[in-house]
């Protein structure tokens, strides 16, 4: 009995000693504290990881929407939505895949006003992995699992860039520029623009850019359609045409009205001109003519033609002239150059007619066509030829004038270019005082928001 009591007393003393040791020990504190704080640590880790995912996805989505908006604005056609979706897909955000939605519009408000900007929005459902542990379950689901919706958007507008043209056709119906065969045509270093369509058969004419408001088919090394119409930039110059002093008398060449031309309408040799010189009716050359006009001159032909009769009319060194065809549409008048020979003329480099070598009054609608421009007579011209209502057939090669810089541009109603039509005079229009016909062509889109 005594032995048993001693045994139990020994066990009791041992347990009491162990309990006291356990109570005094600190070796388990960290484990216990870690166990108690584990849910908080998991929640914090989840928030950090999910936040990192959100940040990376948000940046990726923003980059994708920026690029997609620029692509839509750059495309600027009815296919802009396809362009936007394609670019967003290249960034990994494909519409309808993995909870992704890509939407685009071309009627978004612009920061500068208007509602013609291009906007692309991307939404993406990001699945949550650790945050649900602490009770955050997002605002949607993916395959039944908690997820958070992320959004990104961008707005862009279509930028434009100026482009100058050595040939501008103003008519807005049909093919205002038509190239027939044109195997030898050389418009290199030159751009062409049609306010309607442009159609070239057999050769692109070599123009750097062939632009058209409707459709460009085969004209230009680079062919662009849907270009904005280029307004007539030179119609306002008609206000500089002096009043008509002819009192209804317009002598015509024999064969037109059967009366000889007066001496004032027959030119040969040197002609000293200054200011406005007005010829009533036809002007006919009876020999080669050299115009001396150091201060520049404007030669106005009222209801008449300039008939070279196979001779050359040229500007002397240091001289310049603008030939203006004006009058009315009441008679069977020709308001254009005729007669073979050569036009070797330099336009003024300053003043209201700066850079303009030949000008048809835009109010003229009859007698303005040319069937052999550049060929009969030959054109050696520095400056702009403006024939806004004319139907022109262009067959020859335009070279620069003998004494002028290398610059040529032509504005017509519509034009047919035959196989030998070439513009060889270009590149010196700034020196020639000509502000080239210029349009605004669509460029790369740019972000505005």
Instruction: Express each pLDDT in 6-23 by its tens digit.
Output: 544 555 566 566 556 655
Max CA separation in the chain (angstroms): 167
Q: 430 and 187 in contact (C-beta within 8 Å)? A: no
Rounded CA separation 204/186 (Å) = 9
* pLDDT higher than threshold 80 for residue 185: no
314 and 416 share one domain: yes
Instruction: Answer whether residue 173 is part of any domain.
Output: no
Q: 335 and 368 in contact (C-beta within 8 Å)? A: yes
DSSP string, 309-348: TT-EEEEPTT--EEEEEE--SSS----SEESSSEEEEE--
- The stretch 359-379 carries a mean pLDDT of 89
Rounded CA separation 250/229 (Å) = 37
Backbone angles phi, psi at 292, to 5 degrees: -105, 105
Instruction: Answer whether residue 372 is part of any domain.
Output: yes
Query: Where does the pLDDT of residue 391 fall: very low under 50, low under 70, confident under 90, or very high at 90 and above?
Result: very high
User: Parallel, antiparallel, or unpaired: how do β-strands 216-217 and 197-201 relate?
Assistant: parallel
CA distances from 118 to 67, 75, 384, 440 (A): 12, 10, 39, 19
Q: Specify the length of the chain in residues.
A: 449
Q: 202 and 182 in contact (C-beta within 8 Å)? A: yes
Residue with the bigger pLDDT between 402 and 40: it is 402
Rounded CA separation 243/353 (Å) = 16
153 and 245 share one domain: no
396 and 283 share one domain: yes
* pLDDT higher than threshold 70 for residue 152: yes
* pLDDT higher than threshold 60 for residue 25: no
Q: What is the pLDDT of residues 328-337, one digit of tens each?
A: 998 889 999 9
CA distances from 247 to 70, 243, 281 (A): 61, 11, 11
Residue with the bigger pLDDT between 397 and 313: it is 313
* pLDDT higher than threshold 70 for residue 83: yes
Instruction: Answer whether residue 215 is part of any domain.
Output: no
240 and 156 share one domain: no
Instruction: Answer whether residue 5 is part of any domain.
Output: no
* pLDDT higher than threshold 90 for residue 50: no
Query: Where is the domain boundary, 122, 143, 161?
Result: 161
329 and 416 share one domain: yes
157 and 243 share one domain: no
Burial class (CB in 10 A: 0-12, 13-18, 19+), 304: buried
Query: Where is the domain boundary, 137, 161, 185?
Result: 161
Q: 249 and 281 in contact (C-beta within 8 Å)? A: yes
Backbone angles phi, psi at 308, to 5 degrees: -75, -20
Rounded CA separation 249/46 (Å) = 97
Angle among Cα 376, 380, 383 to the nearest 5 degrees reads 115
Q: What is the pLDDT of residue 396?
A: 76
* pLDDT higher than threshold 90 for residue 222: yes
Rounded CA separation 336/324 (Å) = 9
* pLDDT higher than threshold 50 for residue 1: no
Q: What is the pLDDT of residues 413-438, one digit of tens each?
A: 999 988 677 777 778 999 999 999 99
Q: What is the pLDDT of residue 52?
A: 73
Q: What is the pLDDT of residue 7?
A: 46
Instruction: Answer whether residue 106 is part of any domain.
Output: yes
Q: What is the pLDDT of residue 411?
A: 97
386 and 258 share one domain: yes
* pLDDT higher than threshold 90 for residue 201: no
Q: 282 and 303 in contact (C-beta within 8 Å)? A: no
The total number of structural domains in the chain stands at 2
Please, what's the b/e burial string for 47-66 (b: 16 or more CB within 10 A of its CB; e: otherwise)?
A: eeebeebeeebeebbbebbb
Q: Residue 108 forms beta bridges with which residues?
A: 117
Instruction: Answer whether residue 331 is part of any domain.
Output: yes
Q: What is the pLDDT of residue 193?
A: 97
CB atoms within 10 A of CB 67: 20
Please state whether 406 falls in left (phi above 0), alpha (psi between -120 and 50) or beta.
Answer: beta
154 and 292 share one domain: no
Instruction: Answer whether residue 316 is part of any domain.
Output: yes
Q: What is the pLDDT of residue 418?
A: 81
Percent residues over pLDDT 70 in the chain:
86
DSSP-derived 3-state class of residue 235: helix
Sequence-separated (6 or more) residues with CB below 8 Å from residue 28: none
DSSP-derived 3-state class of residue 145: strand
Q: What is the pLDDT of residues 251-282, one digit of tens each?
A: 998 865 557 899 999 999 999 999 999 999 99
Rounded CA separation 44/50 (Å) = 10
Q: 112 and 104 in contact (C-beta within 8 Å)? A: no
278 and 377 share one domain: yes
Q: What is the pTM of this model?
A: 0.76
Query: Where is the domain boundary, 98, 132, 161?
Result: 161
Rounded CA separation 247/250 (Å) = 9
Q: Which domain holds residue 74?
A: 43-161
261 and 138 share one domain: no
Rounded CA separation 101/64 (Å) = 12
Instruction: Answer whether residue 4 is part of any domain.
Output: no
147 and 250 share one domain: no
Rounded CA separation 265/1 (Å) = 161
Query: Where does the pLDDT of residue 4 fall: very low under 50, low under 70, confident under 90, or very high at 90 and above?
Result: very low
238 and 377 share one domain: yes
Rounded CA separation 122/105 (Å) = 12
């Amino acid at each position: 009995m005594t032995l048993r009591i001693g045994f139990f007393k020994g066990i009791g003393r041992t347990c009491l000693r162990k309990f006291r040791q356990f109570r005094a020990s600190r070796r388990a504190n960290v484990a216990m504290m870690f166990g108690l704080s584990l849910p908080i640590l998991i929640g914090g880790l989840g928030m950090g990881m999910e936040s990192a995912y959100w940040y990376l996805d948000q940046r990726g989505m923003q980059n994708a929407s920026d690029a997609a908006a620029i692509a839509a604005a750059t495309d600027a056609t009815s296919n802009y939505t396809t362009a936007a979706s394609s670019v967003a897909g290249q960034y990994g955000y494909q519409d309808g895949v993995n909870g992704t939605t890509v939407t685009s519009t071309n009627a978004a408000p612009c920061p500068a006003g208007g509602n013609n900007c291009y906007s692309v929005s991307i939404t993406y459902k990001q699945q949550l992995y650790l945050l649900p542990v602490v009770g955050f379950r997002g605002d949607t689901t993916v395959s039944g699992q908690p997820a958070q919706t992320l959004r990104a958007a961008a707005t862009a507008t279509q930028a434009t860039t100026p482009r100058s043209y050595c040939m501008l056709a103003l008519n807005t119906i049909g093919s205002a520029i038509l190239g027939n065969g044109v195997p030898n045509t050389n418009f290199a270093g030159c751009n062409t623009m049609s306010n309607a369509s442009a159609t070239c058969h057999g050769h692109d004419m070599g123009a750097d850019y062939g632009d058209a408001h409707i459709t460009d088919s085969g004209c230009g090394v680079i062919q662009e359609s849907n270009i904005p119409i280029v307004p007539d930039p030179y119609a306002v110059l008609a206000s500089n045409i002096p009043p008509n002093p002819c009192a209804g008398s317009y002598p015509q060449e024999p064969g037109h009205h059967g009366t000889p031309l007066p001496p004032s309408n027959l030119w040969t040799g040197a002609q000293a001109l200054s200011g406005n010189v007005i010829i009533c009716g036809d002007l006919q050359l009876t020999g080669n003519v050299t115009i001396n006009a150091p201060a520049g001159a404007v030669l106005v032909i009222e209801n008449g033609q300039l008939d070279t009769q196979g001779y050359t009319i040229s500007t002397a060194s240091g001289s310049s002239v603008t030939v203006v065809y004006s009058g009315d549409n009441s008679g069977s008048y020709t308001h254009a150059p005729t007669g073979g020979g050569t036009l070797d003329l330099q336009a003024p480099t300053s003043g209201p007619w700066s850079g303009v070598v030949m000008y048809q009054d835009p109010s003229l609608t009859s007698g303005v066509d040319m069937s052999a421009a550049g060929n009969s007579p030959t054109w050696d011209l520095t400056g702009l030829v403006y024939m806004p209502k004319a139907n022109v057939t262009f067959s020859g090669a335009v070279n620069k004038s003998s004494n002028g810089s290398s610059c040529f541009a032509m504005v017509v109603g519509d034009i047919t270019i035959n196989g030998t039509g070439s513009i060889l005079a270009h590149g010196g229009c700034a020196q020639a005082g000509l502000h080239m016909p210029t349009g605004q062509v669509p460029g790369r889109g740019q972000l505005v928001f």
